[in-house]
Amino acid sequence: MSQYRALLQQTITADTSLCGYAVVRCFGIAGGKNWSIDRNDPKTFNAIFDAAPAGVSRIWMPIPSHSNAEIAKRGTFSIEFERGGIPIMGKICGDGVQLFPGEAFAITSADCPTVVMYDRDKTQTVCFHASRESLIDKKYLLNQKPRRTPFSVVESALQVFTTNGIDCRDIRIHIFCGIRSGFIHPPNDPNHSKYNKALISWCKNYGAVLDAQLGEIDLYAVIRAQAIERGVLDANIAYDGIDTHEATHDGKFCWASNRRDLIKTRNLVLVHLKK
């Protein structure tokens, strides 16, 4: 038994079935676990394989570090690592990918929510990383560049459905493993005042400001508002109960949080689409 497999029971802290269609597993940092991946060290991908469910055909892992708001085209991926005939598809920058039955989407993160979108008839599924910069164009807010197209990864994901003739009213959205409180952007920060003020102002349009004085914003509310303004029904948007910044068990934090710890510790979110 590998060191990762031995830790699975104590690190799985959320296991969600989406109508029997998909399973979403969120792995935290109990026992000092760190799910961070070093793309230059293939051995670190073994942790992903050990956590993956039996029967998965391939695992998709785009590189989200640029927060480019793109759902990467499947044909642009390359095999980044392989074990037992199962490839991890990566080597491409993007926030998400379209997923098909039998496949899995994996992402290591620390506060950024993971989003699963699918239509009522379950013909299309998109999974993606929803960071602050993936949702809101920072350079546009700072007047450094024209508004990017698409502006948000939510918009990019919805385009996968609409280009396939699916009405946004028939789309379901589930949001997992993100920061819900403590995501603070002080308006008078000596280094980031201009951006923070612009961000707070923009988030007010989404009803996503928890505390204007502190500059505390809610990424889940941003995702929800962006989806609703594009036609998704509020009743079709669901959240898990995780707050990566605050959740504790027996006096210890359950989840990695960049905002809280300022170190490169990561959680793992695995989405497995059943055959």
Instruction: List the beta bridge partners of residue 60.
Output: 89, 105
Q: How far apart are the first and last CA of the chain?
A: 27
CATH of domain 3-179+220-273: 3.60.140.10
Each residue's pLDDT tens digit, 46-91: 999 999 999 999 999 999 999 999 999 999 999 999 999 999 999 9
State how far the Cα of 203 lies from the Cα of 183, in Å rounded to an integer: 12
Q: Looking at beta carbons, which pairs linking 233-239 to residues 24 or more positions away fall under 8 Å?
A: 233/169, 236/169, 236/171, 236/172, 236/173, 237/172, 237/173, 237/174, 237/175, 238/172, 238/173, 238/174, 238/175, 239/174, 239/175
Each residue's pLDDT tens digit, 105-120: 999 999 999 999 999 9
Numbered ranges of CATH 3.60.140.10 in the chain: 3-179+220-273
CB 152 within 8 A of CB 115: no
Each residue's pLDDT tens digit, 121-179: 999 999 999 999 999 999 999 998 889 999 999 999 999 999 999 999 999 999 999 99
pLDDT for position 166 = 99
Predicted TM-score (pTM) of the model is: 0.94
Torsion-angle region of residue 191: left (phi > 0), alpha (psi -120 to 50) or beta? alpha
Q: What percent of the chain has pLDDT over 70?
A: 95
Q: CB within 8 A of 57, min separation 6: which ones?
A: 86, 102, 103
pLDDT for position 6 = 42
State how far the Cα of 251 lies from the Cα of 93, in Å rounded to an integer: 37
* pLDDT value at 22 more than 50: yes
pLDDT for position 8 = 47
State how far the Cα of 90 lies from the Cα of 15, in Å rounded to an integer: 25
Query: Residue 98: which pLDDT band, with cuts at 50, 70 and 90?
Result: very high
State how far the Cα of 196 lies from the Cα of 22, in Å rounded to an integer: 37
Share the mean pLDDT of the chain: 94
Compute the average pLDDT of residues 29-34.
Answer: 90
Q: What percent of the chain has pLDDT over 90?
A: 88
pLDDT for position 5 = 43
Quote the Cα angle for 56-14-218, to 5°: 115
Each residue's pLDDT tens digit, 32-42: 899 999 999 99
H-run or E-run covering 18 = strand 12-18
CB 39 within 8 A of CB 264: no
